Structure 1
Amino acid sequence: MEDSMIDRRSFLRLGAVGGGAVFMSGLYGKAWAQQGGDDFYFVQLSDAHWGYRGPANPEAQNTLRQAVAAVNALPQKPEFIVFTGDLTHSTDDPAERRKRMAEFKQIVAGLEVQQIHFLPGEHDASLDQGAAFQEMFGPTHYSFDHKGVHFIALDNVSDPGARIGEAQLAWLKADLAAQRPDAPIVVLTHRPLFDLEPKWDWATRDGAQAVALLMPYANVTVFYGHIHQEHHRMTGHIAHHAAKSLIFPLPVPGSQAMRTPLPWDPATPGKGLGFREVDAEPRQAAYQITELPVTKG
């Protein structure tokens, strides 16, 4: 399957807006252009790793709260928020895992938004196959519709082998069968569905099967986390957008031997951290992505 880096035909860099870079993403389905829903916007947050303690972010106790404040300070409230995994930092202690999830849930309850859609990351789910996550946040995979866009949340982390699994792939196939071929579809996941850097665990072992199920649909966009940096890639006509993290940035894929966090800079403590606004235009199956910092300066 063709896998190409971002190009001008698929994404247009528009410049800096309020400290964030803006992209346009999407394909324009002629049939859907006459039938889509109203425009709306949502926010993607990812990789808070609540419970992390270490030199990569000595201010880890504050960063998630700063992100909540930054989202609440947006001039217009998003219609919902998606949180694409690694809500908490991994721990072998089941009681501590639940404690961290409860603390995380209490902090993000301060977000001034009507609805948050949560996905697990491997730090949340791989050690207990998602049991604690489901207790706290509900299903690890699901779908919902919003103003003409069909959203699909996939779980590629509860399996410690980084697989979606046959049962969930069958569910995905059945879910997609109810959609028209030109429907705007947004997939939310934690790991990339393509092989970005497998030796760093930046891949999904059966992600190609999910992408194959999505390929017959003309207007598919994927938003994911896991790699702690903004990244854009195409697999065929499907656009994939990785989000920055709320804890520490990681190196460019394959740029060094190990995926160790980038060094903390006390002069610019929020460097490399961020979240994004996504302005959806269902009539055109298009998305304007604005990258925003957690802290100013």
Structure 2
Amino acid sequence: MIDRRSFMKLTAVGGGAVFISGLYGQTQAATTDKKAAASAYDDFYFVQLSDIHWGYSGAANPDALNTFKKTVATVNALEVQPDFIIFTGDLTHTTDDPKERRKRMAEFKEIAAGLKVKTVRFIPGEHDASLDNGAAFKENFGPTNYVFDHKGVHFIALDNVSDPGASIGDAQLDWLKNDLAKQAKDARIVVFTHRPLFDLVPKWDWATRDGDKAIGLLTPYSNVTVFYGHIHQENHHMTGQIAHHAAKSLIFPLPAPGSQDKRTPLPWDAAAPNNGLGFREVEAERKDSDYKITEFPVTRT
């Protein structure tokens, strides 16, 4: 039987680093070892896309009108399509004009509709939601926090951006507590959020004010992994046994956490316009508590 890993390949698309994320956040290089799956219906993979910032115009990405479209083509070129796709926030670039905000969301939806995969999920970023408490996002994409189950994994989408103060809020924390109470302590749990739940660089807004409360609720569970965006780069961090993985952006990269005084986009390189941009595949096997994370660049023209 061919396992999921043996055919997770791209057509004419180069691969990137591979991580194994589990209880101890281990990392390893890609190998040729192909572990047979117990059942073709138990293992699966999904794709995480983040920080598209549709509507951005500036020197950090003069090709902004095409980058998202290239990404859709890149994902569509996957030889085996994922079970679902998740966008982890900042679908659109911020604007004070409510009409323009909705226009950008409509344009984003039209491009995203070109994805082959029909199960596509969304959570907001602060660019989408902080100026109107998520009103326009909800009109276009539905709830800002929700749960779903897929092949033995319990997925939780948290909203830590609709509050302009960068908090999850007591009501949503109660909702999270009630949902977790229904899960076994060894349940496989994946959390999607936009901002990091831990204090990465608070002065850069790379934190959630009450993220420690969410981490506290998640800590009693032995198999929790968090996937987030916001910081426009790959990053891996542990809080206790919880692994946190940040995704690259699809508009421009940002500096390494705390590496300079101000958070400013890295300069655009005309010779390598997609440098620092990308998306990831996350492979899950139902019999295993680890996740194989593969980073891919945007390469389709």
The two structures have a TM-score, normalised by structure 2, of 0.89
For 1:19, the equivalent position in structure 2 comes to 15
1:221-263 CA distances to partner (integer Å, 9 max, x unpaired)?
A: 0000000000000000000000000000000001011110000
Q: Judge conservation of contact 1:223–1:240 (CA < 8 Å) in 2.
A: yes
Residue identity in the other structure for 1:53: S
Determine which of 210, 213, 219 is the counterpart of 1:215: 219
Gaps of 5+ in 1: 1-16, 29-33
Query: Could you tell me how far apart the structure 2 residues matched to 1:60 and 1:165 are?
Result: 34
Higher strand fraction: Structure 1 or Structure 2? 1
Residue identity in the other structure for 1:23: F
Gaps of 5+ in 2: 1-12, 25-37
Alignment of 1:138-177 (within 5 A): 138-177=142-181
Determine which of 53, 67, 83 is the counterpart of 2:57: 53
For 1:4, the equivalent position in structure 2 comes to none
How far has the Cα of 1:206 moved from its partner?
A: 0.1
Query: Could you tell me how far apart the structure 2 residues matched to 1:243 and 1:68 are?
Result: 16
Q: Judge conservation of contact 1:85–1:121 (CA < 8 Å) in 2.
A: yes
Is 1:252–2:256 an aligned residue pair? Answer: yes
For 1:67, the equivalent position in structure 2 comes to 71
Q: Return structure 1 stretches of 4+ with deviation > 3 angstroms.
A: none
For 1:7, the equivalent position in structure 2 comes to none
What is the SS of the residue equivalent to 2:136?
Answer: helix
For 2:45, the equivalent position in structure 1 comes to 41
Q: Judge conservation of contact 2:88–2:125 (CA < 8 Å) in 1.
A: yes
Is 1:107–2:103 an aligned residue pair? Answer: no
Query: Could you tell me how far apart the structure 2 residues matched to 1:160 and 1:54 are?
Result: 24
For 1:275, the equivalent position in structure 2 comes to 279
Q: Judge conservation of contact 2:61–2:268 (CA < 8 Å) in 1.
A: yes
Query: Could you tell me how far apart the structure 2 residues matched to 1:124 and 1:281 are?
Result: 33
1:131-180 CA distances to partner (integer Å, 9 max, x unpaired)?
A: 00000000000000000000000000000000000000000000001101
The two structures have a TM-score, normalised by structure 1, of 0.90
Residue identity in the other structure for 1:106: E
Residue identity in the other structure for 1:48: I
RMSD: 1.4
Query: Could you tell me how far apart the structure 2 residues matched to 1:250 and 1:282 are?
Result: 34
Q: Judge conservation of contact 1:27–1:284 (CA < 8 Å) in 2.
A: no
Residue identity in the other structure for 2:225: T
Residue identity in the other structure for 1:57: N
- Give the share of equivalent positions with the same residue, in percent: 75
Query: Could you tell me how far apart the structure 1 residues matched to 2:88 and 2:164 are?
Result: 17
Residue identity in the other structure for 2:284: A
Is 1:287–2:283 an aligned residue pair? Answer: no
Residue identity in the other structure for 1:245: S
How far has the Cα of 1:296 moved from its partner?
A: 6.4
